[in-house]
Structure 1
Amino acid sequence: MKNTLPCILLILGISAKTSGQVGIGTNNPSINSVLEVSSTNKGVLLMKNTMSTISAPSPLAAHVKGITTYNISNVNDVSEGLYQNNGTSWAQVAHDIPYGTLSNSFAAADNNGWYLLNGRAVSSLPANAQARAVSLGFTLNLPTADDRFIKTKDTPEALASPSGSSTISLIQANLPNVTFTGSAASAGSHTHIYSDRGAGSTTNSGNGDPNPEADNTSGTYTTQASGDHTHTVSFSSGGSSQQININPSYLVTNVFIYLGN
């Protein structure tokens, strides 16, 4: 037993100081560390395990806070990468992008778990991305972001529902309620001709006679109410019902949704 420990330390290249620091590849580990690994051409290789979901402790028998492992599976809500256990679940290290996050990009194709939001069939996605798309509510197709702006959800609206238009058409109800008044030009004056019979029965415009007559040779007279009439005028607005474009100035990008690897 006396020779066992020195042999192990020699094989591992470990130097231990009386202060308690342990060095691998170094004879002078930092006094602030319990263990220091040093190399100019090698790295630390962690254990590789297969996880099933972030909520299950597997490959552990139970959740243990602080354990780190490299997961090699791509299933459910986990993808390949470095994971750390917080005592109740697994969390991917340096990964804080929730599935379903949208991002604008000049990239032209799917990349690193980001999928172009172009209305494609969910069945055309990789199996893991399909499962995450379904969990977000997309069972048949991803929505398309082609020629659309992104807006926040209004109360009655469904998430990912397309709506809106890039143009509008004005109708009469859109116009201001204004009454226009004015007078006819002097060139619009006119006369009505009648014949003065001078004596006898009276014929006036009330019965539709085109030549009304009065039975006195002089005097001032008022026509009957039945002689009231209107003049109709019409004019063109000059418009052509062209729609109004309401698109502001914009910069063209692609839109991607994050579904992981």
Structure 2
Amino acid sequence: MRTTFTVVMASVLSNFAFAQVGINTASPIASLDVVAKKNDGSSAEGILPPRLTGDQIKAGDNQYSVHHAGVIVYVTAPVNLPSAKTINMTSVGMYIFDGNVWIKMMQGDGKNFLTRSAGDIKSSVLGVDHAGWYLLDGRSIATLPDGAKSTAINLGFTGNIPDATDRVLKTKKDGEILGSEGGQNYFGIDQVNLPNINLSGTINGVAQSAGSHTHSSTEGGFLLGGTTVNNTAGGYLSDGNSTVWGGIGMLGSTAPAGAHIHTVAGTATVATGGAGKSIDNRSAYLVVNTFIYLGE
């Protein structure tokens, strides 16, 4: 009889171990089915997870591994000096362990847990700090609440949080420092930025009247052919000219006009007509504010 009872109990316990478990119900419909004991408001109903401070959870860091992903606790006070696993415990609330770090569980879509972690960035049309989100306006860390200040320091910010005013976000490359600022919205072009080419073109114009001129000879004069200069009407030498001995066909200067050329060398300065205005380097944009999550 004792043997029979032992076998029956073993069978019952074995079935219980592999069956669905119900609390306040004899017909559980899930691995663990908790049903309210009363529904008339005469008692508090619900599931109450373990309640610990952030420092208490931090003290147990070594107890949590990838095998504990999904563990839920309620944090009653933020952690004072966060560790890698508790860096997000900046405010009171429900937290879930993802196998590496504790993440706060937020209200949102009824079918999903919306989470946010320290250092998350978002854009918004809101204009002020809200719900643990702080405007990236370059303010001094000393002006932040204690919890947010501690989080900012743990994120590596010193002195001030970044200033995202009139800036877009850029992914980190090589040795760049997260949260650092760079680039410019406007730029100018210097001569060294212009292409190394020669420009060609044509010039058209009319010389001024002052361009009419003569050329004088430094010695003697200019010999001319087919002329009666310094000849008498009969073709004799004119003894009234001081150069009568050799002045036939000679003039001391050229006429104001004639076929001849001038070679000019020098540097010309041509105005571009520009005003040196800087070029706007920004694409078409929508104006928003940028916030960082530092906790409540």
Q: Common fold, TM-score beyond 0.5?
A: yes
Counterpart in the other structure of 1:157: 176
Structure-1 residue corresponding to 2:187: 168
Report the Cα offset of residue 192 of structure 1: 5.6
Structure exhibiting the larger radius of gyration computed from Cα positions: 2
- The 2-side partners of 1:55 and 1:43 are apart by 27
| Aligned-partner SS, 1:52 | helix
Amino acid at match of 1:193: T
Aligned mates of 2:270, 2:200 — CA distance in 1? 15
1:14-25 → structure 2 map (5 Å cutoff): 21-24=21-24
Closer, same or farther: CA 185–33 of 1 in aligned 2, 3 Å: closer
Q: How far off its partner does 1:251 sit? A: 0.9
Q: Match of 2:169, SS?
A: coil
Aligned match of 1:216 in 207, 219, 223?
223
Output the CA distance in 1 between the equivalents of 2:150 and 2:135: 16
User: TM-score normalized by structure 1?
Assistant: 0.67
| Aligned amino acid, residue 254 of structure 1 | N
User: 1:128 & 1:161 partners in 2: Cα distance?
Assistant: 22
User: Partner residue of 2:6?
Assistant: none
Counterpart position of 1:239: 274
Conservation of the 8 A alpha-carbon contact between 1:72 and 1:81 = yes
Q: Distance in 2 between matches of 1:171 and 1:241?
A: 10
**1:132 equivalent in structure 2:** 151
Matched, 1:259 2:280: no
2:53 corresponds, among 50, 70, 83, to 50
TM-superposed CA distance for 1:54, in Å, is 5.2
Structure 2 equivalent of residue 11 of structure 1: none
1:40-97 C-alpha deviation (Å, 9 max, x unpaired): 4543333422231655328xx9559475431211123223222356788755454643
Structure 1 position 252, deviation (Å): 0.9
- Give the residue type in structure 2 aligned to 1:239: G
Q: Is the 8 A contact 1:29 1:36 kept in 2?
A: no
Structure 1 gap segments, 5+ residues each: 1-18, 197-201, 204-212, 220-226
Alpha-carbon distance in 2 for matches of 1:260, 1:232: 67
| Percent identity of paired positions between Structure 1 and Structure 2 | 32
Q: How far off is 1:174 after superposition?
A: 2.5
* Pairwise CA distance, 1:182: 4.5
CA drift at 1:117 = 1.0
Look up the SS of the partner of 2:59 in the other structure: coil
1:10-51: CA deviation from partner (whole Å, max 9, x where unpaired): xxxxxxxxx875442x5x532444442235454333342223
Give the partner amino acid of 2:291. F
Read off the aligned partner of 2:27 and give its amino acid letter.
Answer: P
Q: CA 1:126 to 1:103, structure 2 compared with 1: closer, same or farther past 3 Å?
A: same
Q: Which moved more, 1:180-189 or 1:73-82?
A: 180-189
Is 1:250 matched with 2:285? yes
CA distance in 2, matches of 1:238, 1:114: 50
Q: Using a 3 Å threshold, how does the CA distance of structure 1 residues 251 and 54 change in structure 2: closer, same or farther?
A: farther
Query: 5+ residue gaps in structure 2?
Result: 1-18, 106-112, 226-248, 250-261
Question: Is the 1:54–1:91 Cα contact (8 Å) retained in structure 2?
Answer: no
CA distance in 2, matches of 1:34, 1:185: 96
Shift of 1:256: 0.6
Compared CA separation, residues 187 and 101, structure 1 to 2 (3 A): same
Does residue 194 of structure 1 match 2:201? no
Aligned partners of 1:55 and 1:89 also within 8 Å: no
Superposed displacement of residue 191, structure 1: 6.3
Q: Distance in 2 between matches of 1:89 and 1:242?
A: 51
